[in-house]
Amino acid sequence: MEEIKYDQMKDSGIEWIGNIPKEWDLIPLKQVASFKTGGTPPLSEGVNFEKGLPWFKPSDFSADISLLSNSENFINFESVKRNRINVFPRNTLLMITIASIGRVGLLEQDSYSNQQITALTIKDQNKLLPKYLLYVSGTLAKYLKESTMSSVVPIVNINFLSSCKVPMPNINEQINIVDYLENELKKIENIIDKAKRSLKLLNKIRKSIIFETVTKGLDNNVEMKDSGVEWIGEIPVDWEYSKICYTTRLNGRIGWQGLTSDEYTDEGPYLITGTDFTEGKVNLETAVHISYKRWQEAKEIQVKNGDLLITKDGTVGKVAMIDGLDSEASLNSGVLRIRTYNQVDTRYLYWILNSEVFWNWFNYTNGGNSTILHLYQNVFEKFSFPLPNIAVQKKISDFLDENISTLDESIKKVEESISLAEQIKKSLIYEYTTGKKRVRL
């Protein structure tokens, strides 16, 4: 196939679409598709059965544009009949229209969805190709996501969605576009899959290096002993282990009430939250300022350079070290301050908390329950970790600082290549479904 431009273009009058080929139509979705919202039958009716009618949730969408073949949950067919569920037929487009907006998928078999998803069933597939609708709706969904980002819970009204216009070439042109995109996107997906495999391997190596170093040290010939701690395993014979409460001072806000609008200021002490953590450091450019009065209320969570911070709510276990702080700062209730005593190198503890020693303990403590989304201070105080002498700790820290930094550079490059490939995919889809480029046999 040869890439060429259309001879004449016209203004669509829609910002996200721009110019389209003169011979293309601009059609409201309600003219070509019917709209229905999914639902959730009572759990007692069989929503979690392993067999039955596929029942899709936003978490089943693996990418911004997906072919939907496998769902995590199913609905018992008896429940389908009993609740008179209006099943969505194969080749129906599903669009997430509440909360996780921006993803679309095409059903590969008859299915149903929850109420966060709107189903678009094509009225005449001789005029609109399902996969063309998938691709053009992916671009539309990106626009809808951007336009609702300011909402606390983004919602796309169905009446608004059904009135949205999309570019519509004739069916033969749609076939050409879909064939071309499938061929090109497959090539890009192969590159992405290869990069993701490399990324997975690099992260596995990273994890292994950190764990082996903080539990075995740098001497491969050293005699080992059983630590007696399940989540640690063997450690060098001259090492000990300690609970974090014996080697550090842990502090966090207790019973803290949120700030009122007049307690946020344009300058003054920083209020650090977990969202300000970037690559093991605190990004003060994203932190807000608070009044000195509010900062002075809780001296136990005022921070200084050299302190470690760990998130205890939301994304549990993010760790950052305070460095380069030139102003007063405090913490919100979702972060714990860790201040080490002399027998512990702060950098060494940073690597401990970034290792599987911490996560093995966390999962062990929570009985393997991955739904636990809180790090309780009174529980964390009992966290045990390997503890060599201070000189060995510093050597380990120096080794990991250098080697993990080099590995992280490689990881970042792979991540950037994946991001670039994803952008190329989105650009291709946009260019061909809005007629910026043309495919001709």
Residue after which a domain boundary falls, among 349, 371, 387:
387
Half-sphere exposure of 415 (CA within 13 A, CB side): 8
Overall residue count recorded for the chain in this entry? 441
Q: Is 101 in contact with 138 (CB distance < 8 Å)? A: no
Min mean pLDDT across 27-31, 207-211, 242-246, 367-371 is at 367-371
Task: Round to whole Å and give the CA distance between 296 and 294.
Answer: 5
What total number of domains does the chain contain?
2
329 falls within a domain: yes
427 falls within a domain: no
Alpha-carbon separation of residue 10 from 6, 15, 28, 172 (angstroms): 11, 13, 17, 20
Mean pLDDT over 160-187 rounds to 95
Task: Round to whole Å and give the CA distance between 232 and 388.
Answer: 13
Q: 381 and 313 share a domain?
A: yes
Mark out the alpha helices in 51-167 (DSSP H runs).
Answer: 77-82, 130-148, 158-163
54 falls within a domain: yes
361 falls within a domain: yes
Please give the structure tokens belonging to residue 360.
Answer: 């093995």
Residue 15 DSSP SS3: coil
Query: pLDDT value at position 153?
Result: 59
Q: What letter would DSSP give residue 43?
A: G
202 falls within a domain: no
Picking from 8, 2, 21, the residue whose alpha carbon sits closest to that of residue 433 is 21
CATH of the domain at 270: 3.90.220.20
Domain that holds residue 109: 25-168
Q: Which amino acid is at 422?
A: E
Q: 162 and 227 share a domain?
A: no
Q: 162 and 225 share a domain?
A: no
- Give per-residue pLDDT as tens, 187-212: 999 999 999 999 999 999 999 999 99
Residue 91 has pLDDT above 80, yes or no: yes
Q: 263 and 351 share a domain?
A: yes
Residue 152 has pLDDT above 60, yes or no: no
Neighbours of 383 (CB within 10 A): 21
Contacts of 402 (CB under 8 A, 6+ apart): none
β-bridge partners, 339 = 249
Distance of CA 323 to the CA centre of its chain: 27
112 falls within a domain: yes
Residue after which a domain boundary falls, among 359, 387, 415:
387
64 falls within a domain: yes
Residue after which a domain boundary falls, among 127, 142, 168:
168
Please give the structure tokens belonging to residue 151.
Answer: 């909402």
Query: pLDDT value at position 293?
Result: 83
339 falls within a domain: yes
Residue 416 has pLDDT above 60, yes or no: yes
Q: What letter would DSSP give residue 1?
A: -
Q: 242 and 371 share a domain?
A: yes
- Split at pLDDT 50, 70, 90, the class of 44 is low
Alpha-carbon separation of residue 152 from 38, 41, 54, 391 (angstroms): 22, 26, 30, 50
Task: Round to whole Å and give the CA distance between 128 and 131.
Answer: 9
Residue 255 has pLDDT above 70, yes or no: no
Task: Round to whole Å and give the CA distance between 64 and 149.
Answer: 16
Query: Which has the higher per-residue pLDDT, 104 or 6?
Result: 104
Owner of token pair 């009044």: 291
Residue 81 has pLDDT above 90, yes or no: no
Instruction: Tell me the backbone φ, ψ of residue 219, rounded to 5 degrees.
Output: -100, 110
Residue 43 has pLDDT above 60, yes or no: yes
User: To 10 degrees, the CA torsion angle through 337, 301, 275, 402?
Assistant: -40
Q: 247 and 360 share a domain?
A: yes
